Amino acid sequence: MKYQTPNFFIAAAILVILTAPAYSQEHREVPNRAGAATTRPSAVTLRLGTSAVVVPAPAGYEEASSQFENIRIRFTETEAPSNEMLLVHLLSSDCDLLRSGQAPTMAQYTKVSVLRTAKEQAFSQADLQAVVAEFRKNGAAMLDPNGPRMKAVLEHVEQALKKVDSPDATLDMSQPINMGEFEVSPNIYSVMILMSFKTNEGKMNPVLAAMSFMRVQERLLYVFSYRKYKLRTDVDTLRTFAKTWTASILAAN
């Protein structure tokens, strides 16, 4: 790992967590490009430097940022400036709603991102171990929305929401809760985070985020699964989903 610190990788990943705002109800499907296939691939190959990383869609999901222009814009605009959004998977039923001009439920969705300055950089198992050690030591402080870094990110996301939603859009977040690690292996480190966002209507919206640092083909991916939190069983549901999907990513590579 060159020119990067474990702290920097963690901070960048946490910024990705914070860019999971509520979804607006205006939709526009991306027109089919000339010569593009009309079938929707179940897996996408990402070229990260000399590495080709295959990311299969979770069962029952479709990659949405390539299909719907407003999905691509929203997730790109609200991404942390240091990161690059690569993929967004929505439930196939949500994609059907979008295709019919209706609002998706966003009950559960995923995002894959990378740190721009490191997407072509080799990332070793030792590098991942260093990231894990740093997160265990300082993760709580990094998640503090009152810290200068988080304040700056929240301001960035709020300005993005004003751009893609409404000039009156606001974003307020309570202290995220680390609900613990649920997968630790030589190539995966996953933790569950509970966040609550307050919209300008004043309503708190609790969201679970499964945050996974994944080492795939010697590259570091930020792999996230989000689920609206309503019941305690949602934690087990999202944990099982995230573990199944990260295992399928590793198996595809």
What pLDDT shows up at residue 33? 33
Q: Which CATH number is associated with domain 6-24+44-252? A: 3.40.1000
Judge whether residue 127 has pLDDT over 80: yes
Judge whether residue 80 has pLDDT over 70: yes
For residues 211 and 13, the answer to whether their CB atoms sit within 8 Å is: yes
Let me know the angle formed at the C-alpha of 12 by 7 and 14, rounded to the nearest 5 degrees. 95
Nearest in space to 123 (alpha carbons), one of 221, 10, 56, 55: 221
Which is higher by pLDDT, 107 or 146? 107
Domain boundaries, the chain: 6-24+44-252
Name the band, by pLDDT with cuts 50, 70 and 90, for residue 28. very low
What pLDDT shows up at residue 167? 61
Phi, psi dihedral angles at 177 (to 5 degrees): -110, 125
What pLDDT shows up at residue 171? 58
- Per DSSP, the residues of 73-98 read HHHHHTS-TTEEEEEEEEEHHHHHHH
Judge whether residue 219 has pLDDT over 60: yes
What pLDDT shows up at residue 40? 62
What pLDDT shows up at residue 222? 93
Nearest in space to 23 (alpha carbons), one of 129, 104, 142: 104
The 10 Å CB-count burial string (b at 16+, else e) for 69-96 is ebbbebbebbbbebbbbbbbbbbeebbe
Q: Name 132's Cβ contacts closer than 8 Å, sequence gap at least 6.
A: 184, 189, 213
For residues 86 and 46, the answer to whether their CB atoms sit within 8 Å is: yes
Judge whether residue 68 has pLDDT over 70: yes
Judge whether residue 20 has pLDDT over 80: no
Judge whether residue 3 has pLDDT over 60: no
Judge whether residue 203 has pLDDT over 70: yes
Q: Tell me how far apart the alpha carbons of residues 49 and 131 are, in angstroms, rounded to a whole number.
A: 22
What pLDDT shows up at residue 248? 97
Containing 113, the helix (H) or strand (E) segment is strand 108-115
7-17 average pLDDT score: 59
153-178 average pLDDT score: 64
Phi, psi dihedral angles at 92 (to 5 degrees): -60, -35
Judge whether residue 188 has pLDDT over 70: yes
End-to-end CA distance of the chain: 21
